[in-house]
Structure 1
Amino acid sequence: MRFNKKVIGSMTVLSSLCVMTTVAAMTNNGEDTLAKYKNNKVVTVAYTESNRGRAGKGLNVSRTSLENKKDTNATIKVQGYEAVGEKIKGVLQELKLSDEEKEWTDALMPKVEDFLLVRADANQDAQVVGKLYKGSKATVVEKGEQWTKISSGNVQGYVRNDMCYFGLDALNYASQNCETVAISKTEGLRVRSTQDTNAEVTKVLATGESIQVDRGTQTNDEWVAVKVNDATNFVSKQFVDVKIKTNVGITLEEEAAAARAAEEAKKKEEEAAAKKAKADNSVRQESSSPKATSQKAAPARTQGSSLAASSNDVTLLAALIQCEAGGESYECQLAVGAVVVNRVQSGYADGTLYGVIYQRGQFGPAMTGKLERTLAKGPSATSIRAAQEALSGVDNVGGVKNFRDVSSSSYSGHVIGGMVFF
């Protein structure tokens, strides 16, 4: 028999993933015993927006269907939703799983705080071949009574059933513990302040760019609620794919390689920091020596035409300034802002602040994700002040449109702090 979705009050009854051969509807606050149904499977489940999961009621009734052989006198109490048993009463509609639920019918997630070991065979003493860290999703290849064979990433092996969530339980766990994102399917997707195509644009997404979904906010059928700087905004549902972000399993070899790569990256970062500190010290020494008079002096400030900018433009420019010169002086931060404004005024990219900052191959933080992380946390007050002054038309670099770290550049130009502007 097939099942269909049926709404009762604010709850939607869902079918079990197990196949049931007989079905009966019971009224609100009614009760019956399992004895009537003998050993047939019984389901008492509900889906609510607050719980976002399936819940069972009554002695020995689990969250999914079960075959009760121990206590045939157990009472099933119905609290505002239907219990499904043997005899058919009333009209039943066909129950269907959503597309998202269908994707999780053969899925599994570890029930751990750190990681779950994946073994080569279905026993506790078998060789460990990989790990499923918290938030990892695996595909069930074959489920046994105590162990399940899984596949996830490059890991294939066995995990203990009692350490895992399966099917819709895995989906419910992922919904509550993993980040959900909306991925743009089009270039220049506008994020808006309200569910209205005429509402203020608060952010623009490139194709493939993702943004965090706000699952706690209700929307109509045409919009998806998302987070922009901790504020709830909205994107058109037809232009995004909504996905729960999960990881995959990792082999022991992959984990060892990742550890080596992390150690190497840390070493390179420390070497780069030491090199920059040495270069900065060299610049300071040169600026205080007599021969420094031959060095190009930073130009005096000039007041040019201002650039029309929204509060979001200010925040975006301030975030870039913080990424590029957060550890430098205010004058250096202002200079970075002036370079960006000079490019906009000169028609770079599409002549917009967003276009200039996200122009391919120009500003590293915009390409690596560092800019988005800074936007999420919010730029510093100093960077915001520098952005506001630069957008007002103040220029302390003489109209130049480029900059580099002094330590990594052979360009001649105006040196401000550890950066050269040319």
Structure 2
Amino acid sequence: MRARTKHVVYSMGGALALSLAMTVPTFADTTGDTPDNTQTEAVWTDKVAADVNTYANIRVDASINSQRVGRLPKGGVAVAVGEKDGWIQVSSGDVEGYIRGDLLVSEEAARDLYVSTYGTEDISVWAEVIDTRPQETEAPQEESGSQEQESEETTETAASVSQDDLDLMAAIIECEAGGESYEGKVAVGAVVMNRVNSSKFPNTISEVIYQRGQFSPVASGKLSRVLSRGAREDCYEAARDVLNGANTVGDKLFFSAGSGKGIQIGNQHFY
């Protein structure tokens, strides 16, 4: 009887040892990924990415009227180093400046956007340096809160705009503001887009620009000539920004030279 009891005890002991041996590898495999995940999260702790269709402008100061020094491509990465009035101070590649906070995502969201855009977590896409321009315009005198109407970049417009729309926008900008500053060029384009979005005007870029009696370069034939040869690159740059939401005049629908009304940018007034 004692011999049988010992046999049972030995058998139970063997089964328990086998059971423990089978569970050990499971714990080892589960804990093996922790260091890598922690390291990945640490890399993205101070990172932001541009959540836009094309690029987000980087400016010297936290204002849309501030000089542009660079642009961060869609999904491109920057290091967030501060915040000011809803703008994020960033450092990216050789560029330092400010980007509007609503155009950026941070940390895990930044990593996910970067991976979905470029297919890797190895960060290599940073900001591009652009030629700086002297500030040639007077600061717009607007009511408090009007800054909220202005936009550096949006995530909605660009995908639905055709090449013909871009060509036409660049051409009308050259015709009406070819000698003006970047802000003045954007202002003319913004008036066109404000009309597109207004119930008082047609609802397409082409119909707005070609509406009878509205833009003198249409009647004079200047617009047609610019379209035939192609607008200048600086006007295309302004047109791209306008079609992505850039706006230096709020909701203004008209402009003219020397009228004295509304916002003055360079030689033109917007009202």
TM-score tier, shorter chain, comes to 0.3 to 0.5
Structure with a larger share of its residues in strand: 1
Structure with a larger share of its residues in helix: 2
